[in-house]
Each structure stands twice: as C-alpha cells, then as structure tokens.
Amino acid sequence: MGDIIDDANKIAAVHLNAALSHIKTPAANDITDCIDCDDPIGVARKAAAPHAIRCAECQGYHDKDSR
C-alpha cells in the first residue's frame, strides 16, 4: 500500500512543480519613486518587492480599485 501512495505523491509533486514553473515573477526594476504620487517607494518595500512601482499606500488604493 505504501508504494502506491509514494508513487502517487511523486506524480503529484511532478505536476505541482510543472504548474509552479509556469508562474512568472515580475522582474526587479530601478524605479525608486511611486508612479502615482512621486513619493519614495521605500527601501524596505523595494527589498520585499523588487518589482514594486508604487508606494505601499498607493498600491493599497490600486489593489482596492482593481477589485
């Protein structure tokens, strides 16, 4: 019984890895000022999200409006 479960887990892992490999991560950019308000994006935010183009506050508004 264990062999069947182990084989199923291996197959599931292959399918999961294949699906995850298709997810594209946005590339890092050199933008340091928010594209909406021109305030600095912030070092901590850029470290956490190198692809960020908005400050945290403007990103929150953007996300809320996108719903």
pLDDT tens for each residue of 31-43? 999 999 999 999 9
What domain range is 47 assigned to?
Answer: 2-66
Domains of the chain: total: 1
- Residue 63: predicted pLDDT: 94
- Give the pLDDT mean for 1-18: 91
Q: What are 38's two structure tokens?
A: 């021109």
The alpha carbon torsion through 51, 56, 61, 67 (nearest 10 deg) reads 50
Phi and psi (nearest 5°) for 2?
A: -60, -35
CA distance 28 to 47: 10
pLDDT > 80? residue 26: yes
